[in-house]
Structure 1
């Protein structure tokens, strides 16, 4: 009976700490193994890149136009999801005009 609180603490520790961490690690390994060419990724260092070639233990990523580097597959932190219905050029025309709110420094009377 005196070990019951200790067993409860260990169970809670496993439930709230160990289990979620192992699930995240499994999802990360799955994502890293499913990388393909043209995927947009963020490296663990925070650098955004595009996958250009996938090898067994490393990937070649393009970090700028014409700049391709070789990184370990484990250096890929996550995939950046881009959806087909997102257009970067689809801006609100009201905010494109000079002097519109939120476009920068303005003279105020």
Structure 2
């Protein structure tokens, strides 16, 4: 019985920590991954580094972005932070 009283606060702390910090982060990561997988040509995006561009072409793990008229850059899909609009 004394062992349960000693371990219970630790278990409660771990559970609270999971619900407050870990679970919301996992949900956010799932949303970002889903957005990255659903990108299409013509979508306006923002990269992790803050580059604003338009999707020009897509491949399995990479994405070609058009920055200015005619300037194209190749990035990993995982470097896309958000889709504008």
Shorter-chain TM-score tier: over 0.9
Cα distance between partner residues in 1 of 2:14 and 2:71: 49
Secondary structure of 1:27's aligned partner:
helix
Counterpart residue number, 2:40: 36
CA RMSD of aligned residues (A): 0.6
SS in 1 for 2:81: strand
Count of aligned pairs:
81
Pairing of 1:13-92 with structure 2 (within 5 A): 13-81=17-85
List gaps (5 residues or longer) in structure 2. none
Structure 1: runs of 5+ lacking an equivalent? 82-109
Whole-angstrom distance in 1 between the partners of 2:83 and 2:61 = 17
More helix by share: 2
Of 6, 11, 15, the residue aligned with 1:7 is: 11
Q: Deviations over 1:36-68 (max 9, x none)?
A: 000000000001000010100001001111101
CA distance in 2 between counterparts of 1:10 and 1:71 reads 38
Report the CA distance between 1:10 and its aligned residue: 0.2
User: Over residues 1-29 of structure 1, what are the superposed CA-to-partner deviations in whole Å (9 max), with x where a residue is unaligned?
Assistant: 11111111000100011101111111110
